[in-house]
Amino acid sequence: MNIQTPSGDASRPVSDQVAFDRRELSVILSLYGRMVAAGEWRDYGISNLRDLAVFSVFRRTAEHPLYRIEKRPKLRDRQGQYAVVAMDGQILKRGGDLKAVLRVLERKLIRAVK
């Protein structure tokens, strides 16, 4: 049985894509909402690819993402499946616990509010 992707493409089953689950999105969107309220972030994008899922945050829509929150399940047993990547490609934090990895951005929120 071939399950169609949300875009209607029946050539590739949904199971071939990595995606954030509801719990993960809840944690990410909670941080996103606080950063929007602080005036730091204004837009986001989500990409579900074969090997990774990416939540990108933007200061303005037409720019490159300020940060990418990545989920790479293949790295679960090694470095941890979650990572926060800066605009220049530098990995700011990597680990197996999403909340712990996102703390690197929480510190930026605290500085922005002060």
Is 88 inside a domain boundary?
A: yes
Structural domain range at position 96: 14-113
End-to-end CA distance of the chain: 55
Beta carbons of 41 and 29 less than 8 angstroms apart: no
Per-residue pLDDT of 70-92, as tens digits, reads 999 988 888 889 999 999 899 99
- pLDDT tops 60 at residue 21: yes
Report the distance separating Cα 13 and Cα 112, nearest Å.
42
Residue 4 covered by a domain = no
Q: Is 5 inside any structural domain? A: no
pTM over 0.95: no
Classify residue 96: in a domain, yes or no. yes
The structural domain count of the chain equals 1
Task: Specify if 7 maps to a domain.
Answer: no
pLDDT at residue 34 is higher than 80: yes
Residue at 26 is within a domain: yes
